[in-house]
Amino acid sequence: MNFITEGELYQNVLKTVAHAGNLININENALERLKYPRRAITVSVTLKGDDNKIRTYTGYRVQHNQTLGPFKGGLRFHQDVNISEVAALSALMTFKNSLLNLPLGGAKGGICIDPKTLSPGEMQRLTRSFTSEIGPFIGPDKDIPAPDVGTDSQTMAWMLDTYSSEFGFAQTGVVTGKPVEIGGSHGRDSATGLGVIFICEKALATKNKKMDEATIAIQGFGKVGMHAAIEAYKLNAKVVAVSDVSGGLYNEKGINIEELVKYTSENGGLIKGFTGCDSISNDDLLALDVDILAPCALDHAINSGNMETVRADIIVEGANGPVTSNATKYLHDKGVMIVPDILANGGGVVVSYFEWVQDIVWLFWSAEEVREKLKTIMYRSFDTVWEFSQDQNQDMRSSAMAVALKRLEKAMTLRGLAW
């Protein structure tokens, strides 16, 4: 153990890995390599503020594993960012990319700063300063950052521009999640939510149900939750409840999501005040008797305190870590299927991978092509995890990790890294 791996999240990842590793009797040399990040870079990010004073922040890029391909993972600008959390998230990217069978390794990065305190000009200067510092370690063939909490397509556009200035020509493949106008992919914005719904379809099918016969409650109406709701509505599922930071809405006949999206776009992005629905607390939403509960907002939303109230048949983790390990065990034993985050919210990184591929070949796909290719990968990934869980009588979380480890172990063996 060292200061990078000692954080709670990293230790939890190691526990999940150890358990899943046991299930597949993993080669111990491969396991040892997966326990630590390959490289953890700490940089000083200087920012000349609007007040002309230089301020210095700490930034990180942790590159966990590159057995399957170049490092890949998001950049988070948030006041709670620390190296151990970034390292844990980088390891989860290694496992997510392996599970989805993408030719990519795992990385994550961030700056410990509250971006809400910055003007747009300061945000741009901070991003450019950080990109210069990590520049030698990233690149289309080395490590490809993407947006995460506190960063967006604009942040990626500034990164692309700063990185490219070293070369004298555009290096579009250095980041994903860019605007479409400068090499981004169609369908990236809706990819995670859409992937959540592809997974819902597959999970329902194991219970011989279709989306148009299902009820669904969604916590969170942001990038993930809103697009999941839009897609579920299109497929004629009954979206009976949604919530965001401003409150919750309930309608047993199903909420008109098209109208709600229009309403939120005219009301600061929040659902509060939308008419034709009852209001519902977040606790009550999580306790609804629905076919599918999709927590798409917060980590630890379902925990030891409220797990006994859950009545959904299936939980699809749109957010990262919304069901704690205690709650996972309790609900799995009760017969609830929990589709884990590394599978359920993998749609975002799949379309990021598509974006990187399109940038390399300079040939861009239509939204429909992206959607069909995403569906193929999400369906196939679900099937692989489901089959493992049935064969081995394991929950879906352990099964997803076991499938991810198996691929990594095989690749490491072939590369001579597990001997």
Instruction: Give residues with Cβ within 8 angstroms of 161, minimum separation 6.
Output: 128
- Choose between 47 and 224: whose C-beta lies nearer to ligand NAD: 224
Contact 185, 354 (CB under 8 A): yes
Q: Does 389 bind ligand NAD (CB under 6 A)?
A: no
Residues 265-284 that bind ligand NAD (CB under 6 A): 282
Greatest CA separation for the chain: 63
Question: From the list 60, 158, 198, 221, which residue makes contact with ligand NAD (rule: CB under 6 A)?
Answer: 221
* Percent helix, percent strand, percent coil in the chain, to nearest 5: 50, 15, 35
Q: Cβ-closest residue to ligand NAD?
A: 222
72, 96, 108, 178: the catalytic one is: 108
Report the site for ligand NAD in 339-368 (rule: CB under 6 A): 345, 348
Q: Is 296 in the site for ligand NAD (CB under 6 A)?
A: yes
Minimum gap (Å) between residue 274 Cβ and ligand NAD: 13
**Binding-site member from 180, 298, 357, 417 for ligand NAD (CB under 6 A):** 298
**Bridge partners, residue 145, by sequence:** 73
Q: Is 219 in the site for ligand NAD (CB under 6 A)?
A: yes
Q: State yes or no: is 108 an active-site residue.
A: yes
Residue with tokens 């995890």: 385
297 is a site residue for ligand NAD (CB under 6 A): yes
Q: Is 76 in the site for ligand NAD (CB under 6 A)?
A: no
H or E segment to which residue 130 belongs: helix 120-134
Q: Where are the alpha helices (DSSP H) in 309-346?
A: 325-333, 341-344
Three-class SS string for 237-286? CEEEEEEECCEEEECCCCCCHHHHHHHHHHCCCCCCCCCCCEECCHHHHH
Size of the site for ligand NAD (CB under 6 A): 20
320 touches ligand NAD by CB under 6 A: yes
Contact flag: residue 235 with ligand NAD (CB under 6 A): no
Structure tokens given for 97: 């990319």
Q: Which stretch binds ligand NAD (CB under 6 A): 23-31, 312-320, 331-339, 397-405?
A: 312-320
Contact residues for 416 (Cβ-Cβ < 8 A; gap 6+): none
Active site residues: 108
Residues that bind ligand NAD (CB under 6 A): 192, 219-225, 243-245, 282, 296-298, 318-320, 345, 348
